[in-house]
Homo-oligomer: A and B are copies of this chain.
């Protein structure tokens, strides 16, 4: 019987793209191998963390030599599934939705937005960066043709829950939530939140704690 393997720690998964970007930017022929010491130094981390993170991809380094760069790149891409491409729907063709449709880097992240949906008649029928904007009501029909697993939510917060429901009913299994809403979904559906308010809360509270934060009146007035 196989030992049940633990899933990779989420924080490690979250850091993998940083390593990948760094590795891909390395001068191609300069080194065939790289150590976690060096990666850590360049990215402001500590070596042991890099080592642990890279280990989740299954890569094997050599003592004293380090990790083979090209194999390491492939191992991360493979682990993240970025070598093959996942299709996604985008819900809400407002300015944020438009920005995501125009974001060329997604092709390197294994993501392809194949259709957008909106309720604004002025947007329906348009094409943005090659992607057609459909009426929201066309969702079931479009899904039937193309069983897409990922939905990107860039609708107003008030509409988010209803759209999430329509998506999961249509068979979408993962929601990338850019709205401020907290989504209630069936437990088999994955939700990843990109909530600006949450991120901003951390930024401002850390700024306030920092030596020269928002308040000019610090510890010593």
Residues of A within 8 A of B (CB): 7-8, 10, 13-18, 21-22, 43-44, 79-82, 86, 94-96, 98-99, 102-103, 105, 109-111, 149-150, 157, 173-174, 176, 180-182, 184, 188, 190, 192, 194-214
Contact indicator B197/A21 (Cβ below 8 Å): yes
Cβ-defined partner of A200 (8 Å) among B7, B8, B22, B111: B111
On whether the beta carbons of B79 and A205 are closer than 8 Å, the reply is yes
B150 contacts A207, CB within 8 Å? yes
Q: Which residues of B contact A197 (CB under 8 A)?
A: 17, 21, 105, 109
Looking at the complex, which one of B149, B182, B203 makes contact with A207 (CB distance below 8 Å)?
Answer: B149
Cβ contact of A195, chosen from B17, B79, B86, cutoff 8 A: B17
Q: A109-B197, A198-B14 are in contact. Are A203 and B192 (CB under 8 A)?
A: yes
**In the complex, are the beta carbons of B192 and A199 less than 8 A apart?**
yes
Contact of A201 with B96 at beta-carbon distance under 8 Å, contacts A149-B207, A188-B211 already known: no
Extra contacts besides A18-B195, A81-B214 (16): CB < 8 Å? A13-B202, A14-B201, A17-B195, A17-B197, A18-B182, A22-B182, A44-B182, A81-B204, A81-B208, A82-B204, A98-B99, A149-B207, A173-B207, A176-B203, A188-B210, A190-B207
Compute how far the CA of A44 lies from the CA of B186 in the bound complex, rounded to whole angstroms. 11
In the complex, chain B residues whose CB is within 8 Å of the CB of A180 = 17, 21, 105
Contact between A205 and B81 (Cβ–Cβ < 8 Å)? yes
Please, which residues of chain B bring their CB within 8 A of the CB of A150? 203-204, 207
- Of the listed residues A176, A190, A204, A210, the one surrounded by the most CB atoms of chain B closer than 10 A to its CB is A204
- A150 vs B204: C-alpha distance when bound (angstroms): 9
A24 to B194 alpha-carbon distance, docked (Å): 20
Query: For the complex, what is the distance from the CA of A96 to the CA of B194, rounded to whole Å?
Result: 14
In the complex where A190-B206, A210-B173 touch, is A103 in contact with B96 (Cβ < 8 A)? yes
Complex Cα distance A214/B82, Å?
12
Complex A-B: 18 CB contacts under 8 Å: A10-B202, A13-B202, A18-B198, A44-B182, A80-B201, A80-B204, A81-B204, A86-B204, A98-B99, A105-B180, A105-B197, A173-B210, A174-B203, A174-B206, A176-B199, A190-B210, A192-B202, A194-B194
